Structure 1
Amino acid sequence: MNRRKFLGSLGVAIPAVVLVQYLDLKPEPTLSYISNPKLPYDKLPSGWKGTPLRSDGTFQNLFHPFEASLKEVLKWKLKGNPQAEEKKKDKRRLEFQKIDNFQPNGKDQIIWLGHASYLIHIGGVTLLTDPVWLENWVLKRYSELPIDPETLEGVNYILISHDHRDHCDEATLKLLGKTLPQAQILTGLRMSDLLQPWMPKNKIQEAGWFQSYDLKESLRITFVPSRHWSRRGLLDTNQRLWGGYFIESGEKSFYFMSDSGYGPHFQMIGDTLGAPDYAMMGVGAFKPEWFMHPVHTSPMDAVKAFQEMGGKNFIPMHFGTFDLSDELLLEPLDWLTANQDAVGGNLIYPVLGKNLI
């Protein structure tokens, strides 16, 4: 995907319109802290106040407030990719196994469907994360989808981490709304206005950071902080909350990072909820690092975060399916496999459609 389409998907492709936002001279907003009063806090960091909300109605990261910079966007857009020719010649793709018919067999399963999309079965419960399966004007798939979306049944929960189009796809969610009307949507604060029109029959639960969802099953899913941002169009920057998920079932725990830059929140999550047995860590869309590091982790930063959380099994994701940045599609995996001793835990080699545990 070219830069113009990617930047357009984030609402930055029309400089004249965006410039108005950057020249806004309103006073610096103050902070308050909010949560969903219908959902519990089961475990909290010391001194926790709630999810930060600015007085202008936008959400804010815990430690690194997101600052949109038109100058930096244009610098990346106009500078050119030093790996452009290498990318043109690179034909490598992710390894792939077809799923003919998904049938839980009573054992825990984590099946990668590409990018940040997983089919997870743990504790007798089936989850989907960030399903983006149908190509559109923004995203072209460079890896095959291992499953026919219309054949999928028995999903209990669909986890939507934030509103960016490579994690939240209107066409895919409309399809799943028809085929999986019984599945509940677990997401962040203020996401319902976007999702409910696409999935009118599906119940939606919105959580603030460190809140746990109201589930019938003996499973705990907690919405946790990430260092990122949100935007669907031109005028809705950071109006919907973003985050990851910490899933606990029996004696096992699973961390789904979603999108995040590196920061102290990783240590906070580990200290609060414990060391994850399996951590699905974003490692792609990281070049150029000077531009991407506030919102995406490089393989090196992901390993550092994994170690700070005390993770046991490292599952890399967020690479190889969509071309969102300057590096080669499989470059993050190349670094990880060449530096397995540096991971600090067991590196699970990712194969699309294969149970990874």
Structure 2
Amino acid sequence: MGSGSSTEAEIPNVTPIVDQEELVRPIKENGRYRNPFPTYEDRGFTHLMRLMKDFALNNISGIPWNNKEELDKTLPVLKPDIETLAAGEKSNNLRAVWMGHACVLVKVDDLVVLTDPVWGYKCGPLGKMGAKRYRPPPCSIDELPELDAVVISHNHYDHLEYSTVVKLNKRFGKNLHWFVAEGQAKWMRDAGCEMVTELTWWEEASLEKHGHKYTIAATPSQHWCQRTATDRDKALWASWVVQGPRHNFYFAGDTGYCFGFRQIGRKYGPFSLAAIPIGAYHPRWFMRPQHCNPEEAVEMHVDLRARRSLAIHWGTYVMTVEPYMEPKTKLADAVAARGLHEAAFTTVRHGEVLDLDSETVEDR
């Protein structure tokens, strides 16, 4: 395993995009979805073979697998203060915990939401293959507060894990409302989920909880879906908006950079908080259509009109070959280069509780 920094000299940092006023819709042909974005390109078998060679010859991730002390220093995992997150004297507040990878536990006013929950050591079929976790979850599922809703961005194993879904269902049952993109509801119900709402891009659902009415909306992202050899893109992928009486939260899930984020910002922004992916981006020739890099993530933050953004999709599972701490460094550099305040878009420690109650949309 080498060391160093990923290079992208031959490719611009941010893909030029073409915006449009009409809301973008997913394309469905012969039972399969397609991205409508000009920034998307499919990757086939020959690309995969080249990628495998890159992984073998150019892996500069530098993860210190056998040095827990070093990992605890570079990526500390805190035990989250669940009482601080879920309770407190004030209602209508905004608090969030990064649980690792794309999983965020967020309290939007009085609604407690979990995004893309994955607790497994390996994310792949039967939990025996796929990407390995090098940072543990900050807490167990049994230690979570009472949850109201879960939003799922897409069906890849690092964002949707069967054993985690089963454990959440066992604990919360019909009190937990699952929100998924079109084509995913049957899988969720087969896994034991009782309350499932399936939406396509720009569709909205109302959720009445704790004396308030919340809007949950599915919004575009640039990605793809697959869990078996034969189900490629038979389910849709999405990002999510959670609107409360006072705060507005956005979850990007997993995505490449596209013009859809400007449309989301115009329709639903500004956002009190956005959770935006910054990792698993190298090599760029393969990852660009499906995973944004830190520079593109900052453009997403601007497009979405987010007051604060939280970095996700990094520092948890080994998935690509960039140096494992590079996303954090590049994000800070990109924020500075864009002329944003250093607190506008940041990384946080696993398990750290962010109390953002004072930072409302009205403060913009």
TM-score range, shorter chain: 0.7 to 0.9
Asked if structure 2 preserves the Cα contact closer than 8 Å seen for 1:120 and 1:126, the reply is yes
Closer, same or farther: CA 258–86 of 1 in aligned 2, 3 Å: closer
Deviations 1:64-108 (A, max 9, x none): 455232111111112345653661558544232103644422332
Q: Distance in 2 between matches of 1:155 and 1:46?
A: 36
Partners of 1:212 and 1:240 in 2: CA distance = 18
Q: Secondary structure at the match of 2:262?
A: helix
What does residue 347 of structure 1 align with? 345
8 Å Cα contact 1:115/1:318 also seen in 2: yes
| Partner residue of 1:116 out of 98, 102, 107 | 102
Matched, 1:293 2:288: yes
CA distance in 2, matches of 1:259, 1:352: 19
Q: Which residue of 1 aligns with 2:187?
A: 194
DSSP-derived class of the 2:205 partner: coil
Partner of 1:61: 35
The worse-fitting range, judged by mean Cα deviation, of 88-97 and 221-230 is: 88-97
| Structure 2 alignment gaps of length 5 or more | 1-19, 122-126, 357-364
The corresponding residue for 1:22 is: none
Relative to structure 2, which stretch is displaced further, 347-356 or 263-272? Answer: 347-356
**1:83–1:327 CA contact under 8 A, matched in 2:** no
* Residue number among 304, 315, 333 corresponding to 2:310 in the alignment: 315
Q: Residue 298 of structure 2 contacts residue 335 of structure 2 at CA under 8 Å; is this kept in 1?
A: no
What is the alpha-carbon distance in structure 1 between the residues aligned to residue 54 and residue 352 of structure 2?
Answer: 39
CA positional deviation for 1:349: 3.4
Structure 1 position 162, deviation (Å): 0.7
Q: CA deviation at 1:290?
A: 0.8
Change in CA separation of 1:70 and 1:86 when aligned onto 2, cut-off 3 Å? closer
Q: Which runs of 4+ in 1 moved over 6 A?
A: none
Give me the whole-angstrom Cα distance separating, in 2, the residues matched to 1:213 and 1:86: 41
> Residue 224 of structure 1: CA displacement?
0.4
Root-mean-square deviation (CA, aligned residues, Å) is 2.1
Partner of 1:30: none
Q: CA deviation at 1:338?
A: 3.8
Does residue 84 in structure 1 map to residue 59 in structure 2? Answer: yes
1:129 partnered with 2:115: yes
Q: Name the CA distance, whole Å, in 1 between partners of 2:284 and 2:305.
A: 25
Pairing partner for 2:195 from 203, 213, 226? 203
Aligned equivalents of 2:298, 2:267: Cα separation in 1: 19
Give the corresponding residue for 1:170: 162
| Letter matched to residue 204 of structure 2 | S
1:153 is displaced (CA, Å) by 3.9
Instruction: Give per-residue Cα distances to partners, 1:208-245, cap 9 Å, x unaligned.
Output: 10111231242112110000000001000100110111
Residue 168 of structure 2 aligns to a residue whose secondary structure is helix
Kept in 1: contact 2:94–2:247 (CA 8 A): no
Counterpart in the other structure of 2:148: 156
Q: Note the residue ranges of structure 1 that are not aligned, 5 or more in a row.
A: 1-44
Contact 2:82 2:145 in 1 (8 A): no
1:4 maps to none
Whole-Å separation in 1 of the counterparts to 2:352 and 2:145: 18
Count of residue pairs the alignment pairs up: 311
Equivalent position of 1:250 in the other structure: 245
Distance 1:82 1:267, change over 3 A: farther
Q: Deviations for 1:1-35, whole angstroms, at most 9, x for unmatched residues?
A: xxxxxxxxxxxxxxxxxxxxxxxxxxxxxxxxxxx
- CA shift, 1:336, in A, is 1.8
More strand by share: 2
Q: TM-score, normalised by structure 2?
A: 0.80
Corresponding residue number in structure 1 for 2:176:
183
TM-score calculated relative to the size of structure 1? 0.81
Q: Kindly state the Cα deviation for residue 198 of structure 1 after the two structures are TM-superposed.
A: 1.3
Deviations 1:319-348 (A, max 9, x none): 000000011222100112344423535133
The 3 A distance-change label for structure 1 pair 339 and 50 is closer
Q: Taking structure 1 as reference, are residues 59 and 308 closer, same or farther at Cα in structure 2, changes over 3 Å only?
A: same
User: In structure 1, how many angstroms separate the alpha carbons of the residues matched to 2:238 and 2:263?
Assistant: 14
Query: Residue 128 of structure 1 contacts residue 159 of structure 1 at CA under 8 Å; is this kept in 2?
Result: yes
Q: Does structure 2 retain, via aligned residues, the 8 Å contact 1:112–1:352?
A: yes
Deviations 1:89-147 (A, max 9, x none): 58544232103644422332111100000111112111110000122322422112111
**Structure 2: how far apart are the matches of 1:46 and 1:338?**
31
What letter matches 1:154 in structure 2? E
- Quote the sequence identity (%): 24
Instruction: Work out which of the residue numbers 55, 59, 78 in structure 2 matches 1:97.
Output: 78
Q: Deviations over 1:31-58 (max 9, x none)?
A: xxxxxxxxxxxxxx9544854211x111
Q: Distance in 1 between matches of 2:131 and 2:24?
A: 38
